[in-house]
C-alpha cells in the first residue's frame, strides 16, 4: 500500500470519526496484511472476471459466486442484471438454431435503451443475413482463420531475419 493510499484511507475514516494517528493506522493495516485478514474482509465481493464469466457460463458453473451473492449484486446493480438476462436470451437463440426468435429479440431489447446493447444490436442489423446464417447452419470458417493466424505469427517472428523464400519454405512445413 502506498503512502497516497494510506492518506486517502486516513482522511476518509477521519470523516467518520476516527481520532487516532496516521502511524497507528499504518501499523494496524500492516498487521492485517501479515495476518491475511484482507481475504476475510473481501469475502462478499465479486471479481470483475467472475462477472464476465457469467456472460459465458451458467451461474451454477461459475466459481467464486453463489446464488445469494448474485441476488445481492442484482439488487445493487439492476442494469447489470438486465444485461445478464439479455445475453442469456441471445445465447439461447443462437444455440436453439431458431432464426425467427432473433427479430423479436432485437425489437424487444432495443426498447430497453441500454447504449451497449443497442450498439450490439446495430452491429447485428448491419449484417443480419450473416447472423441468421450463423444461427441456422453449423458451418464456420474457424479452421481457415486459425491457419491464417498461424501464418501471421510465423511471419512476425521471422520479420527481418530471412528472405521470402525461406519464409515460404517454413510455412509449407507447417
Question: In the prediction, which pLDDT does 37 show?
Answer: 55
CA distance 29 to 36: 11
**pLDDT beyond 60 at 35:** yes
Indicate yes or no: pTM above 0.85: no
Percent of the chain with pLDDT over 70: 94
Grid cell listed for 3: 503512502
pLDDT digits (tens, 9 = 90+) for 63-83: 888 888 888 888 888 888 898
- Tell me the Ramachandran region of residue 112: left when phi exceeds 0, alpha when psi lies from -120 to 50, beta otherwise: alpha
pLDDT digits (tens, 9 = 90+) for 16-34: 888 888 888 888 888 877 7
Question: In the prediction, which pLDDT does 43 show?
Answer: 55
Grid cell listed for 122: 446495430
Grid cell listed for 136: 441456422
Contact 62, 50 (CB under 8 A): yes
CA distance 144 to 139: 12
**pLDDT beyond 80 at 136:** yes
Query: Closest Cα to residue 39, out of 48, 47, 27?
Result: 47
Position 146 confidence tier, pLDDT thresholds 50, 70, 90: very high
**pLDDT beyond 80 at 3:** no
Percent of the chain with pLDDT over 90: 25
Question: In the prediction, which pLDDT does 118 show?
Answer: 93
The backbone torsions φ and ψ at residue 62, rounded to the nearest 5 degrees and listed phi first, read: -95, 130
Amino acid at each position: 500500500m502506498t503512502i497516497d493510499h494510506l492518506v486517502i484511507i486516513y482522511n476518509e475514516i477521519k470523516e467518520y470519526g476516527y481520532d487516532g494517528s496516521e502511524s497507528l493506522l499504518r501499523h494496524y493495516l500492516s498487521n492485517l496484511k501479515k495476518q491475511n485478514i484482507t481475504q476475510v474482509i473481501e469475502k462478499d465481493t465479486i471479481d470483475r472476471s467472475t462477472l464476465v464469466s457469467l456472460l459465458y457460463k451458467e451461474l451454477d458453473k461459475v466459481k467464486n459466486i453463489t446464488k445469494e451473492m448474485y441476488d445481492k449484486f442484482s439488487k445493487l446493480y439492476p442494469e447489470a442484471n438486465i444485461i445478464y438476462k439479455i445475453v442469456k436470451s441471445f445465447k439461447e437463440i443462437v444455440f436453439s438454431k431458431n432464426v425467427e426468435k432473433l427479430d423479436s429479440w432485437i425489437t424487444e431489447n432495443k426498447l430497453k435503451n441500454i447504449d451497449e446493447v443497442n450498439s450490439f444490436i446495430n452491429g447485428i442489423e448491419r449484417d443480419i443475413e450473416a447472423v441468421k446464417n450463423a444461427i441456422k447452419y453449423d458451418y464456420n470458417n474457424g479452421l481457415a482463420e486459425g491457419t491464417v493466424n498461424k501464418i501471421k505469427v510465423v511471419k512476425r517472428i521471422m520479420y527481418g531475419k530471412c528472405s521470402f523464400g525461406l519464409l515460404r519454405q517454413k510455412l509449407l512445413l507447417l
